[in-house]
Copies of this chain bind each other. A is one copy, B any other.
């Protein structure tokens, strides 16, 4: 299935080497023909690692594996395959993960618990891990510092463009780099860490601090986005710190030293998360929803996500209809405190409804023009308190139905 590139695609940034990381991809023939589907990254001794995973109650075997392995806080290798999620595969799934980690550990001469694995693709089919393991030695021999684009491409499934982001930021005066790649386009919902994202830095940071920063960053990025309200069984975000830059030592509680780093990490995670939304299955428009005036920030975020998940709002946006009545409906169904008669709704900077009723005679011209664009802004003021929150989604189009009515065929 060759999908046209999303009209919302952004170009890959140039990704310079990141000290300590070598990576690349190979064709293991797991599901797809004529494209890479296996990605490996290797990391130097002393690399620390953190992870955030799906909250789906039926996670895949790779998610179970990573959760357990990260108790050690160390990593030497990452192995990812596309095309088969290794989810709901029972004992065969566990065996596939054990064998994959074992094969990678043999190549590197490290512990199996220093190998992290991730899989994405169809659910419920046994992963043919023999193919994966057969492809691993040649892939390992080919890894390079400049393998970023290859890796970003190799983890794609229904994605139509590769996703990556990079930042440089000082820690106590010494510049460090953060680079991440991601994949995702469907089965993307906020109650999770979204599809797959792998972020690397050459900073030297203790694993618990990495974990704190990653959890915070994911909450503000991936967990504020939704494509279709369906929470994947495979969502995984991993953060690795190779420790190759000789900056001032940072202890677990030295948050003041990593404030800039943390902000750059937050920005990078949001960048990756929005690239996933931009590649939402069938997406023609990127939608940002800002909610203000809620009783709390949490309440605002829930209202924003209720709007973002409403099929009627999303189809209206696809139809370039600033149907604020459907936005009112979605506010009301969120289950959060809302007072119809204090509610205001705006699109593209024009308030269409204020304090419970339509703004009679508002200028439709700028609203109509805004709806024809690629990036749509919705503003809601609940008029109750000071809570604010933002969510991002895409529109719901025929493309979504095309892709998902035919995924396995």
Task: Answer yes or no: A126 CB below 8 A from chain B CBs.
Answer: yes
Given contacts A315-B404, A329-B230, A329-B231, contact A324 B124 (CB under 8 A): yes
B315–A401 touching, CB < 8 Å: yes
| Cα-based distance from A310 to B90 in the complex (angstroms) | 23
Best-surrounded residue of A56, A58, A187, A324 (most CB of chain B within 10 A): A58
Task: Answer yes or no: A257 CB below 8 A from chain B CBs.
Answer: no
Task: Answer yes or no: A268 CB below 8 A from chain B CBs.
Answer: no
A358–B89 touching, CB < 8 Å: yes
Chain B nearest Cβ from A394, distance in angstroms: 13
Task: Answer yes or no: A128 CB below 8 A from chain B CBs.
Answer: no
CB interface residues, A 351-409, toward B, < 8 Å: 353, 355-358, 396-398, 400-401, 404-409
Binary B-proximity of A289-333 (CB < 8 A = 1, otherwise 0):
000000000000000000001111001101101011110111111
| Cα-based distance from A124 to B347 in the complex (angstroms) | 15
Return chain B residues, CB-CB under 8 Å to A321.
Answer: 405-409
Count identical subunits in the complex: 2
A58–B343 touching, CB < 8 Å: yes
Given contacts A126-B358, A357-B91, contact A233 B328 (CB under 8 A): yes
Q: Nearest B residue to A230 by beta-carbon distance?
A: B312
| Cα-based distance from A333 to B54 in the complex (angstroms) | 9
Given contacts A316-B405, A328-B233, A397-B401, contact A358 B124 (CB under 8 A): yes
B329–A233 touching, CB < 8 Å: yes
B312–A231 touching, CB < 8 Å: no
Task: Answer yes or no: A59 CB below 8 A from chain B CBs.
Answer: yes
| Cα-based distance from A407 to B321 in the complex (angstroms) | 9
Chain B nearest Cβ from A68, distance in angstroms: 15
Best-surrounded residue of A191, A312, A396, A408 (most CB of chain B within 10 A): A312
Return chain B residues, CB-CB under 8 Å to A331.
Answer: 57-58
Binary B-proximity of A69-105 (CB < 8 A = 1, otherwise 0):
0000000000000000101111111000000000000
Task: Answer yes or no: A263 CB below 8 A from chain B CBs.
Answer: no
Q: Can you sample 20 A-B contacts with CB below 8 Å? A: A57-B335, A57-B338, A88-B356, A88-B357, A88-B358, A89-B357, A90-B355, A93-B357, A125-B325, A187-B312, A187-B329, A191-B335, A229-B309, A230-B330, A233-B328, A312-B404, A319-B405, A397-B405, A398-B398, A398-B401
Given A88-B357, A316-B404, 10 extra CB contacts under 8 A: A88-B325, A88-B328, A90-B356, A123-B326, A124-B325, A124-B358, A232-B329, A312-B404, A318-B405, A319-B407
Q: Which residues of A contact B (CB under 8 A)?
A: 55-59, 85, 87-93, 122-126, 186-187, 189, 191, 228-233, 309-312, 315-316, 318-319, 321, 323-326, 328-341, 343, 353, 355-358, 396-398, 400-401, 404-409
